[in-house]
Amino acid sequence: MLRSCLRHCPRATVRSVSCPRCLHHEPPRIHLARQQTSLSPSFLQIRGLQTSTTGPEEHVPLRKQLKQGAKALKAQKRERREQEEASRQKWELTVGVEIHAQLNTETKLFSRAPTLPSGLPNTNVALFDLAFPGSQPEFQAATLLPALRAAIALNCDIQPVSRFDRKHYFYHDQPAGYQITQYYEPFARNGYLDLFTHDGIAPEDGDRVRIGIKQIQLEQDTAKSQEYPPSTQLLDFNRVSHPLIEIITMPQIHNPATAAAFVRKVQAILQSCNAVTTGMEAGGLRADVNVSVRLRGDGSGAHQYGGIGGLGQRTEIKNLSSFKAVEDAIIAEKNRQITVLESGGVIEGETRGWTIGSTETRRLRGKEGEVDYRYMPDPDIPPLLIGEDLVSALSDNLPTGPDALIDMLVGQYGLPIEDAKPLIELDDGARLEYYQDVVDILRDLQQDLDAEAQTSLGRVAGNWVLHELGGLLTKADVAWDAEIVTAESLAALIDQLQRKRITGATAKKVLAMLFEGERRPILQLLEEENLILRPLSREEYIALAEAAIELNPKMVEQIRSKNQLGKLGWFVGQMMRMGEKGRVEAQKADSILRELILGSSQ
C-alpha cells in the first residue's frame, strides 16, 4: 500500500496524510519526503559511524559523524601507505633516461627544407624527407653547432670522428623504413650532470648527485601523425628529418623525483646555451624512461645496461611530455613491477605507455633490441669530422650555465637560493637581465650610502622583481615585458624606499600605478601625489599603540601570558589603519608595541 502511494505521489512529504489518486490514508509517520537523504546502517558501518542500537544513545550531529568517518578513512589510507612503503624498502629502483630534443636550426638534418613551423601540413619538405626514390641525404653542417653547444654544456667529450647508422623499423611515420641516427659512434660521449637540492632531487639522494651521460647522438625526427578513430591516420611530413639530439644517461637514477629534476635541468641547460628553442611545454623535448627494480643490496640481477650489471629486467616508457609525467610514470611502473615480483611473477622486457592523470602504465608492445633494429652504417653519409678549433671556439663563447649563474646570484648579489633559481628559469633569462639592470642602476643611485646598505641591494631588488612586480603580472595574467615597469622606474622607487622617504605600503601603491601605465618620473609622482613620508614622532606612535591596545585587551593578555608574539603583527596593522595613510612605519610601530606590551625596547 505504501509503495503504491509513493509511486502515485512523488511529492509526498512528512506532512502528507493522504493520496488523492488512490485515496489511501496513512499516518504522517509512514510518508517520507522523496527529496530527503538518509544514511543507511550499512553506510555508517562501513565508515565506522554506526552507534549502538541498545540502551540510551547520545545524539551525534551528522556533520560530526562525517568528520569522524573522514578521519578514520584517512588513518586507514595512511596505514596502508606506510605498509606499502615498508614493503618497498626491500626494493631498489634504477632508472635511465633518454631525452630527445629538437635543435635550434634553420634547415633539416639531411635536406635544405626549412624547420620553421608552418600552418599547412606537408609544405616544408624535400624529396629526401619523403624517401623519394633516388634522393640522397645532404648533411647540413650548420645543424652540428647547437648540438655541439649542448654536448659541451653537458660536460661531454667531443669525438673527432663520428658516423651515422640506419635504425630499421617499419612504421608509417618513417617513410624510408629506417631512421638515421648515431648508435655505434656518436659525436659526444662520457658526459655528466650534477644535481643539487635546489634542483628538486629526492632527499634520499643527499645534497648532490652526479648522473653520468653515456652519449649524445644526432638523429632525424619522424613525421607527425594524427589519429582519427576508428581507422584513419593522417601524416604531416614537415617534421621529418628535423635535427634531434638524443641524450642517453647511465642507469644511475634511483628516485622518481631525481629523474624529473634531471630532465628539468637538462632542458634549462639546452635553453641557456641556445641549443633548442622550445621545451617540453611546446613539444620540443620528449623523454623516455627505462625502469627496473631489484632487491636492495642484491647485485645478482641477470641484466646489464650501460656497463652496470646486476640489474632487474627493464621496461621502457615512451614519449613523456612533462616533468610531472616523468615522475608519475616512474612511480606507477615501479609499483607495478614490485607487485608482479612479490606475487611470484616475472617482468617482461616491453615498451609501455603513460597517460597524464593515470595511475598505471599500459603495455604497448614487446621491447625491441639491437637485433630487431638491424643497425648498420649508412652508406650514403660520410664520417663526420669535428676539429678541436671548433670545439674550443664554441666552449669559449658558451653562455654561463645555470649552476654558475646561481653561484653568482647567491655570492655576488646576496640572493637566497629560493629567489636565484626562478630568476634564471623565468622568461628564458629575460627576467634575470631585467633584475641585473635594476641592481646596476640602484648601485649608481646609492653610491653615497654605506657598505651595509650596498650589500642588501641585490636581495631587496630580487624581492621587488620576483614577488611584488611578479605578483602584479600573475594577478593580471600578463606575459613578461620589461617595458611595463622599466628598470629605471623600479630602481628609482626602491631607492626612495631604501632612503626611508616612503613606506613599504606607499612603494607598493606606486608600483601598482606604474604597472597600470603611470609614466611620470618617480620623484615627480611622489611630490605631486603627496606621497613622501612625513615621519611620526615617538609620541604619535605611542598614542596610536595605546589606542589599539585599549580596544583589544584580551589579545594583549594572550601575548603577555602565552608569549604569542605573532599577534604583534596584527596590532601593527591596526596602527597603520588608524594612523594617517603612508606615515606609519611597520618597524617603528612594532618596536613601540613591544615596549608597551612586553616592557621591551627591542
Residues 212 and 334 in one domain: yes
Q: What does the pLDDT look like over 497-536, one tens digit per residue?
A: 988 889 888 999 999 999 999 999 999 999 899 888 878 8
**Pair 353, 425 in one domain:** no
Q: Is the pLDDT of residue 306 over 90?
A: no
Would you state the pLDDT for residue 45?
Answer: 43
Tell whether 54 is covered by a domain.
no
Identify whether 395 is part of a domain. Answer: no
Residues 472 and 575 in one domain: no
Domain count, the chain: 4
Q: Mark whether 429 and 510 lie in a shared domain.
A: yes
Domain of residue 20 covers 1-38
- Residue 545 and residue 575 share a domain: yes
Check residue 11 and give its pLDDT: 44
Q: Is residue 170 part of a domain?
A: yes
Give the pLDDT band of residue 34 (cuts 50, 70, 90).
Answer: very low
Give yes or no for a contact between 578 and 544, defined as CB atoms under 8 angstroms apart.
yes
**Whether residue 133 is found in the same domain as residue 2:** no
Residue 56 placed within a domain: no
Count of other CB atoms within 10 angstroms of residue 440: 14
Angle among Cα 66, 72, 78 to the nearest 5 degrees reads: 135
pLDDT value, residue 38:
42
Q: Which residue has the higher pLDDT, 218 or 454?
A: 218
> Do 163 and 383 form a contact (C-beta atoms < 8 A)?
yes
Min mean pLDDT across 107-116, 279-288, 333-342, 370-379 is at: 370-379
% of the chain surpassing 70 pLDDT: 86
Say yes or no: 122 and 266 in one domain. yes
- Sign of the four-CA dihedral 40, 46, 52, 54: positive
Examine the domain organization and report whether 542 and 515 are in the same domain. no
pTM over 0.75: no
**Same domain (yes/no): 474, 554:** no
Q: Residue 387 domain-assigned?
A: no
Could you give the CA distance from residue 348 to residue 361 in angstroms, rounded to a whole number? 14
pLDDT in tens, 334-349: 999 999 999 999 999 9
- Confirm whether 44 is domain-assigned: no
Determine the 3-state secondary structure of 584 from DSSP. coil
Give the per-residue SS3 of 85-149.
Answer: HHHHCCEEEEEEEEEEEECCCCECCCCCCECCCCCCCCCCCCCHHHCCCCCCCCCCHHHHHHHHH
What is the SS3 string spanning 317-335?
Answer: EEEECCHHHHHHHHHHHHH
311 found inside a domain: yes
Note the pLDDT of residue 88. Answer: 61
d(CA 95, CA 261): 13
Q: Taking residues 343-362, report their average pLDDT.
A: 91
pLDDT exceeds 90 at position 212 = yes
State residue 586's pLDDT score.
85
Q: Which of 7-11, 377-381, 463-467 has the lowest mean pLDDT?
A: 7-11
Is 555 within the bounds of a domain?
yes
Mean pLDDT (whole number) for 168-190: 92
Same domain, 116 and 249: yes
Average pLDDT, the chain: 85
pLDDT in tens, 85-111: 665 678 999 999 999 999 999 999 999
Residues 359 and 436 reside in one and the same domain: no
Same-domain check for residues 97 and 139 = yes
